[in-house]
């Protein structure tokens, strides 16, 4: 190709790029996918750093690149908490500012948002002893529920279920404080690593164990009691979405099941509906499909070569 031909091609390429850019810019006008010229949303990378620092404080010495010894633990914790408070408060402030309207305009760094951001950040830090207590029960549940577990260290290091639960318990605190975006960033990051999808709004009791974990889905309004075990592929989901007269989804309704204390749910089971309650101490077999309540002390199975469930109640 001659130099003149190459120049013509370059001009043509530039012209088409400019035309495409003009079309994209025109498409931005009034578009719901456009967030430039607005206060920035929370940073995914910053939230991941906060999560990693929180996990380091919850499980000190497990995931750091250096050994923590003696009096160094105090400096380690104070340093981590300072980083968490600073970075998390900045991201929470961004979250508050998305929905805070002052007069006719969006908030532009008002003192109210700044104070609320720091307060929630400090509140989460103050909940760390509670989080560690809850997760200690979860580690114990994994050890007691999995005969392949060698010791607690193995569970903390390598069990995806424990990581997903740890992130959920952190995200749930922020969710219950009315924080937007950040809990979902946390839960979806955990989902991407573990294959376990827990909405930050789900309520989960003590001594909770997810074995293997891949494909587990726990919906927003799920309520799970104490001493519950789930295996891979379990879905705790919504049966249907109620709609208003215009056909829009009615939000805020309980759509997901309640799992009472002491329930075990085996691989591939699907339990749907906000009115569905799985009674305490029940055992739900693999691959069953449940859309109505099961009484306490029940055993629900799908017999081989049958499609109808077999429900037995035991005392």
Instruction: Answer whether residue 220 is part of any domain.
Output: yes
Same structural domain, 96 and 244: no
Whether 59 and 138 have beta carbons less than 8 Å apart is answered as: no
Instruction: Answer whether residue 6 is part of any domain.
Output: no
Cα distances (angstroms) measured from residue 210 to each of 22, 161, 166: 51, 5, 12
Cβ atoms within 10 Å, residue 267: 17
Instruction: Answer whether residue 19 is part of any domain.
Output: no
Q: In whole angstroms, give the CA distance from residue 82 to residue 77.
A: 9
Same structural domain, 159 and 177: yes
Q: From 168, 196, 224, give the residue that closes a domain.
A: 196
Whether 271 and 255 have beta carbons less than 8 Å apart is answered as: no
Instruction: Answer whether residue 62 is part of any domain.
Output: yes
Q: What is the predicted pLDDT for the residue at 100?
A: 66
Instruction: Answer whether residue 10 is part of any domain.
Output: no
Tokens of 68: 């923590």
Same structural domain, 70 and 87: yes
Same structural domain, 262 and 286: yes
Q: In whole angstroms, give the CA distance from residue 285 to residue 272.
A: 15
Same structural domain, 170 and 45: yes
Q: In whole angstroms, give the CA distance from residue 211 to residue 227.
A: 13
Of residues 148, 129, 144, the one with CA closest to residue 228: 144
Q: What is the predicted pLDDT for the residue at 238?
A: 94
Tokens of 265: 């749910």
Total domains present in the chain = 2
Sign, CA dihedral 107-112-114-117, equals: negative
Same structural domain, 260 and 281: yes
Same structural domain, 278 and 232: yes
Q: From 196, 223, 247, give the residue that closes a domain.
A: 196
Whether 258 and 223 have beta carbons less than 8 Å apart is answered as: yes
Same structural domain, 45 and 72: yes
Q: In whole angstroms, give the CA distance from residue 136 to residue 169.
A: 12
Tokens of 251: 């939000």
**How confident is the prediction along the chain (315 residues), in pLDDT tens digits per residue?**
566 555 668 888 899 999 999 999 999 887 778 777 667 889 999 999 999 999 999 999 899 878 888 778 999 999 999 999 999 999 999 888 877 655 555 666 678 888 999 999 999 999 999 999 999 999 999 999 999 999 999 999 999 999 999 999 999 999 999 998 999 999 999 999 999 999 999 999 999 999 999 999 999 999 999 999 999 999 999 987 777 788 787 787 899 999 999 999 999 999 999 999 999 999 999 999 999 999 999 999 987 666 667 777 765
Cβ atoms within 10 Å, residue 41: 16
β-strand partners of 313: 298
Same structural domain, 53 and 132: yes
Of residues 61, 194, 223, 205, the one with CA closest to residue 134: 205
Q: In whole angstroms, give the CA distance from residue 30 to residue 112.
A: 29
Same structural domain, 45 and 190: yes
Q: What is the predicted pLDDT for the residue at 252?
A: 78
Indicate which CATH number applies to the domain containing 250.
Answer: 2.160.10.10
Q: From 196, 226, 244, give the residue that closes a domain.
A: 196
Same structural domain, 308 and 208: yes
Q: In whole angstroms, give the CA distance from residue 259 to residue 280.
A: 7
Print the domain residue range for 275: 202-315
Q: Using the 8-state DSSP alphabet, how is residue 228 labeled?
A: -
Describe the chain by its helix, strand, coil percentages, rounded to 5.
45, 15, 40
Cα angle 249, 250, 252; round to 5: 130
């Amino acid at each position: 190709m001659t130099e003149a031909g190459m120049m013509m091609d370059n001009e043509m390429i530039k012209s088409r790029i400019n035309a495409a850019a003009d079309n994209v810019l025109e498409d931005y006008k009034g578009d719901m996918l456009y967030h430039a010229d607005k206060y920035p949303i929370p940073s995914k990378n910053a939230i991941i750093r906060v999560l990693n620092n929180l996990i380091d404080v919850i499980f000190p010495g497990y995931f750091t690149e250096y050994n923590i010894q003696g009096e160094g633990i105090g400096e380690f914790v104070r340093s981590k908490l300072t980083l968490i408070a600073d970075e998390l408060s900045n991201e929470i402030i961004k979250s508050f500012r998305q929905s805070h309207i002052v007069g006719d305009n969006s908030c532009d760094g008002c003192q109210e948002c700044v104070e609320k951001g720091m307060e929630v950040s400090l509140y989460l830090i103050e909940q760390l002893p509670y989080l560690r207590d809850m997760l200690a029960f979860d580690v114990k549940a994994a050890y007691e529920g999995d005969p392949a577990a060698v010791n607690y260290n193995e569970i903390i290091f390598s069990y995806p279920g424990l990581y997903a639960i740890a992130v959920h318990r952190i995200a749930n605190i922020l969710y219950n404080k009315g924080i937007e975006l950040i809990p979902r960033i946390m839960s979806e990051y955990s989902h991407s690593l573990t294959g376990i999808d827990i909405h930050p709004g789900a309520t989960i009791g003590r001594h909770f164990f997810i074995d293997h974990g891949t494909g587990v889905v726990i919906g927003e309004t799920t309520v799970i009691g104490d001493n519950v075990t789930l295996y891979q592929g379990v879905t705790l989901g919504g049966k249907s979405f109620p709609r208003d007269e215009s056909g829009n989804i009615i939000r805020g309704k309980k759509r997901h099941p309640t799992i009472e204390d002491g329930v075990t749910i085996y691989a591939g089971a699907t339990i749907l509906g906000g009115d569905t309650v799985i009674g305490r101490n029940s055992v739900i077999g693999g691959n069953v499909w449940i859309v109505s309540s099961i009484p306490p002390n029940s055993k629900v199975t799908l017999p081989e070569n049958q499609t109808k469930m077999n429900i037995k109640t035991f005392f």
